[in-house]
């Protein structure tokens, strides 16, 4: 294991699972409002769900003021890929909205993201994009096993997504998690040789983070210095996981759905 990677203990796992319960509650509330097309639903209303649940669970929002980030969560719409700053924007029918949440409890972090469609999709391809991005997450998770190389995760994501006809974002991806540090080594690429990278071992905490796009995969950082965009509609899912006791613990095993 790299000297830059800190293996976690059972205390971390317990605290991270508690943070995961908070994230699960957040996603449940957001999902209900989004897929039911709640009238005049704003990004600020979604952000308030994150803040309220953090207070309820005695957790802290990981991203607020992290390296100067101004929002409680990253909420990205349509061609915004990641790091969307929360605004007064009111969701429009057919919008794809990604809620990316970090929750910290006793220093342990659960960093997870889900994408939904606000009401009926504008195109059937949008629905397929979201569903297949979720499936790509599951494909990556399935390779997070003791003894595998880290690259097996990204290899599974890339093979699955490209087989389904979608572009894969490779200059952004998943990452390690550490105490009070949401982005730590190692980088978890969404395209990698399955025989490359560190050997997965007990105590390794990761965020697995597939990002798919329809069409071109080039990215651009917006003038606000945070939001990353793609030329067309994109989708983003993320789960925090920890290997412990020769098992994979997934922090948010929610009832995600888009209908």
Helix H or strand E encompassing 24: helix 10-35
What's the pLDDT band for 1 if we cut at 50, 70, 90?
low
Domain range annotation of the chain: 10-250
What's the pLDDT band for 259 if we cut at 50, 70, 90?
low
pLDDT of residue 129: 98
pLDDT digits (tens, 9 = 90+) for 44-54: 999 999 999 99
Confidence (pTM): 0.96
State how far the Cα of 222 lies from the Cα of 84, in Å rounded to an integer. 10
State how far the Cα of 77 lies from the Cα of 90, in Å rounded to an integer. 11
Stretch 168-180: mean pLDDT: 97
| Encoded tokens for 55 | 């207070």
CA nearest 85: which of 224, 181, 220, 212?
Answer: 224
State how far the Cα of 50 lies from the Cα of 256, in Å rounded to an integer. 17
Stretch 54-81: mean pLDDT: 97
Q: Could you confirm whether domain 10-250 is CATH 3.40.50.9100?
A: no
| Encoded tokens for 210 | 């597939």
What's the pLDDT band for 253 if we cut at 50, 70, 90?
confident
Give phi and psi for 50, each to the nearest 5: -65, -50
Helix H or strand E encompassing 178: strand 174-178
CA nearest 5: which of 201, 241, 252, 163?
Answer: 201
Alpha helices (H) along 36-168: 43-56, 124-142, 151-163
């Amino acid at each position: 294991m790299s000297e830059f990677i800190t293996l976690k203990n059972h205390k971390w796992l317990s605290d991270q699972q508690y943070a995961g319960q908070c994230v699960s509650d957040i996603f449940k509330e957001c999902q209900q409002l989004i897929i039911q097309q709640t009238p005049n639903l704003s990004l600020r209303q979604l952000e308030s769900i994150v803040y309220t649940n953090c207070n309820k669970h005695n957790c802290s929002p990981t991203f607020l003021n992290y390296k100067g980030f101004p929002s409680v969560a990253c909420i990205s719409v349509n061609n915004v890929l990641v790091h969307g700053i929360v605004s007064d924007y009111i969701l429009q029918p057919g919008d794809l909205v990604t809620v990316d949440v970090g929750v910290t409890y006793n220093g342990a972090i659960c960093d997870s993201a889900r994408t939904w469609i606000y009401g009926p999709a504008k195109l059937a391809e949008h629905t397929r994009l979201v569903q297949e991005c979720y499936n790509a997450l599951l494909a990556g998770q399935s390779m997070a096993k003791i003894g595998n190389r880290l690259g097996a995760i990204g290899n599974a994501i890339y093979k699955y997504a490209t087989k389904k006809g979608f572009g894969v974002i490779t200059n952004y991806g998943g990452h390690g998690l550490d105490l009070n540090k949401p982005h730590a080594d190692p980088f978890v690429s969404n395209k990698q040789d399955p025989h490359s990278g560190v050997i997965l071992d007990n105590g390794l905490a990761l965020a697995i983070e597939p990002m798919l796009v329809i069409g071109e995969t080039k990215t651009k950082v917006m003038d606000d210095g945070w939001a990353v965009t793609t030329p067309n509609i994109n989708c983003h899912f993320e789960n925090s996981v920890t290997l412990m006791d020769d098992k994979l613990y997934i922090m948010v095993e929610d009832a995600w759905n888009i209908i």
